[in-house]
Structures are given as C-alpha cells and as structure tokens.
Amino acid sequence: MKKCPNCNFENRDEAFFCTKCGTKLQEQSSDTNVNVGQQTYMPENSGYTVNQVIEPSVQPSSGVNISIEKPKKKSKALIYVLGLAAVIAIVFLVMNISFAKPAEKVILGLVKLSKMDKCTTTTTVDINYDGDEEAADLLNKLTVKLETAADVNELFAQLNLDLLYSNKPVVQVAAGLNNQDFYIDLKDLHKKVFYQDVEDVIPDYPDFANDYKIIKKAMDGISLKFDTKKYMKIVNKVLDDNIKKSGNKVILTLDSEIMSELFTALLEEAEDDNKLMESVRKNGIDFINRIIKEKKKLKTIDVDDLEETLEIFEDKDEFEEYYQDAISNALARLDYMDFDEIPELELIFRFGSGNTIKGIDFTTEINDELEIFVKADIKSGASFTKFNRKDSIEIKKLMTGGDIEDVVEEITDNLIKAVKKNKDLTKKIEDLTGQDVEDAIEMLMYGASNFIP
C-alpha cells in the first residue's frame, strides 16, 4: 500500500494520486492541492434572480499548483488528466447531493425547467380502481401514454396519445398546432392527416402570436431581486418533514392545509417586502418600455394602455398602493378558496445531472375507490408532424359536403382491426357489451358520428 505523505491515507500500490486528497504519490513530494468550491444556493444579497439558473461551480483556488511529471507515453498522460477530472467531478456531485436542501433543489430544478424553449414530456397514466369488479378489471388494465411536445418560441404544440391494454398498444392519435394549421393525425386509423387553417380555429392567431413573441422577448430581461433566504426559510418551515431527499429524488407530499399555509405565509412576507416591491416596480418599467419600443410591430396590444400603466409604475407612491392592494386581494381570495377539494398529492421529482429535473411522478387518491398514478419524463427538444396540405383532408370541406361517411367507415374498420389484435381487450368488450366486438365498435362509432354537425 502507498501511504499519502499529505493525509496518511493508504492507497493501492498502483495508485499515482491519493484517492482521498489528490496528492501525487511519488517518492518526491508534489504540491498538488485541489479545492472543490460549491456555490451556496441563493445567499442573502447574492443578486439571484428568478430568471437565472444558479449553476454550482468547480474551481481550483487561486493558489492551486498542479504539478504532474510528464509520463513517457502520451496515452498515460491522458489517463491521468481524465482520472483527475473524474475525481473532481465525483467530489462535486457528492457535495451537491449531500448539502443541497430538498426544497432548494426542487426550486432550482423548476427554474431551469422553465427556461427550456423546446421540450417533450412523455406522461404515463395508470389507474387503480377498487369499485365494481367488471369495471375494475377493464380500467386497471388500461394505460394512457401522452407525449406532449412544445416550442414556446414558435408557439408550436403537439399531443400524441397512445392507448394500451394489458401493456399492449391498441390505438395512437396525434393533434397539434403550428403557425399555419391545426391538425389531427389518426395514424393507423386513417391514411391521411386532417387539418384546418389555424385562423379558422383561433381568429387573428397570427396577430396574437406576433405580440406574444414581443412580450416573451421583453420578459427575458426581467431580473427580480429579493432576499431569497427569507422565502426559503418559510418554504422549509412550512414543508418541514413533508419534503425529503432520497438519492437523486425529492419526494414532496402536499395537501390542502399545507398549500393554504404556504401560499399565505409567502404572500404575507411579500406584502411587507420593500426590496421585492421596488424590484417589481423597476423591472415593470423596463418590461413595459421594451414593449413600447416595438409599438410599430404590435398588432393587438393597445400602446395607450401600456403608457398609462407605465405612469403608475413610475410613480413610487401610486405603485406601492397598487402593490399592497394586489397582495391584500390575493390573501383575501385565499380565504375563500376551498382547498379541501384538492386531493392529497405525493410528488416525486427525479433529477439528472446539473440539477436538471428529468421527471415528475405523482400519486393522487380521487376517492376511496379510485387512485391515479402519473409518471412524466421530461427531455429537451421537440419534433412535430409534417404534412402536405395537398395530400391531406381539410376538416371544413369534409364537414360541408365531403366524403364524411367514407372517412367514418374507414376509421371504424381500422379501429376494429386494431382492437382485435388485442385479444384481452376484445374479450373484455364482448363480455361487457354482450356483443361481438365488431358490433360494439360500430355502435360506438355510430353514436360518436351523431355529434358531428
């Protein structure tokens, strides 16, 4: 064993550096000293902003002098460097996991999540029903998978829905919105995509989208400053044992009483927070001015209303009155809110590297008979269905004289084929309805078609 001359830790004979402190293990002494500094989460007066993600940093101290004798072979030098980097990374990760409080870890993760411009969330919903035996046998084998893709800059969105029974796929459909179309893709149920011009669905949509982008760009400059320690103290005090850390997970239990107490305590603190109030006022002035600068591009926003609001923000006394009224009204509304209707939730935040939330799971009990389990995986990036209008079906034309009967017939036939591939579901439908699966689905589709204008 090689004993470290710095800390006396006993290392393996083949070790070149001390596993504990990083000192070089050679006959001649080396002056290697690696300090891994971790940025403390949101210190008082740190200038932390709600629009920033505080990244922990790994930096050697200014007096660090890492002296490594040049090895004979270049490949070994690379191994030494990578090994040293790995040790530093591991030490940092251990420190980050060990010392970050659960509530602070969740808030940092949510802030980082909110800064994603493109993201895809895959959500799995399972049901545990303990009521009627026949209904329970059907519901408890159903699984719904939802994949939601969003681009908050371009205002693109798409929802993919997969229905599974006994963990076997049955049908898949998708619906989405881009800057031109609202569309529905029935996948295997129909060979063509159905679409409608987005302005027929949302009048003046391009104008709203235009102003949204101007507002979003203006919001990117918001940088609120406040005493974060005071608010984190409130969060930690209220949540107490209801939030805890387990490995790379943070488990949060919320009920109506906790949510009411938390919102009330935070608002009461904000009510008397002059630093926060002044930061809101200054950021509001900057935000409004950034929008006014783009007034020639605005389509739906009234510039006169903006300028009137700006006058309120610029008058400190008048703004303070508005600020106090806003907080007081929010507190009053909390008194009238029926939090008892909110079921207890157990939220599990799953973390990846860099304090990034990679998933959120939750369980909620709707009543004594029904419990729902939701698992959501989150990743950066998003993709959307691409289609050619020439090869697609316009919904308006289909509804006003198109071959709607042929379309419904094709969808019905393909739905029957899809269901019959799942023998468990086929048997369950026939047991519940007392009909052949073909007749049951045809009756279902006939009923649905009656709602088509």
pLDDT at 24 over 70: no
Tell me the C-alpha distance between 254 and 360, whole Å: 14
CB 350 within 8 A of CB 360: yes
Least confident of 195-204, 280-289, 364-373: 364-373
Give the whole-angstrom CA distance, residue 127 versus residue 125.
7
Residue 287 CA to residue 221 CA, distance in Å, equals: 7
pLDDT tens digits along 225-265: 888 889 999 999 999 999 999 889 999 998 888 988 999 99
Residue with the larger pLDDT of the pair 13 and 328: 328
Higher pLDDT, 62 or 270: 270
Residue 393's pLDDT band, with cuts at 50, 70 and 90, is: very high
Residue 121: what residue type?
T
Helices and strands per DSSP (H, E), number in the chain = 14, 14
| pLDDT, position 215 | 93
pLDDT digits (tens, 9 = 90+) for 305-358: 999 999 999 999 999 998 999 888 888 888 777 766 677 889 999 999 888 999
pLDDT band at 28 (very low <50, low <70, confident <90, very high): very low
Q: What is the mean pLDDT of residues 173-186?
A: 93
pTM, full prediction = 0.70
Q: Mean of the pLDDT values across residues 128-138?
A: 86
What is the C-alpha to C-alpha distance for residues 48 and 44, in angstroms, rounded to an integer? 9
Which pair of tokens denotes residue 22? 């990083």
pLDDT, tens only, 196-221: 999 999 999 999 999 999 999 998 88
Q: What pLDDT is stored for residue 22 in this prediction?
A: 60
pLDDT value for 350: 96
pLDDT average, residue stretch 46-70 = 41
Q: How confident is the model at residue 432 (pLDDT cuts 50, 70, 90)?
A: confident
pLDDT at 97 over 90: no
Q: How confident is the model at residue 410 (pLDDT cuts 50, 70, 90)?
A: very high
Tokens of 12: 């393996």
What pLDDT, on a 0 to 100 scale, did the predictor assign at position 354? Answer: 81
What pLDDT was estimated at residue 120? 96
When pLDDT is averaged across residues 74-98 and rounded to a whole number, the result is 42
Region 136-145: mean pLDDT is 90
Q: State which amino acid sits at residue 74.
A: K
As given in the structure block, the two tokens for residue 74 are 């270049």
Tell me: pLDDT of 90 over 50. Answer: no
Report CA torsion sign: 384, 165, 343, 239: negative
Residue 29: per-residue pLDDT: 39
Amino acid (1-letter code) at residue 80: Y
Query: What residue spans define the domains of the chain?
Result: 2-99, 117-380, 403-449
What pLDDT does residue 444 have? Answer: 87
Q: Which helix (H) or strand (E) holds 146?
A: strand 142-151
pLDDT at 114: 86
Residues 120, 148 contacting (CB under 8 angstroms): yes
Q: What is the mean pLDDT of the chain?
A: 81
Q: Which of residues 131 and 69 earns the better pLDDT score?
A: 131
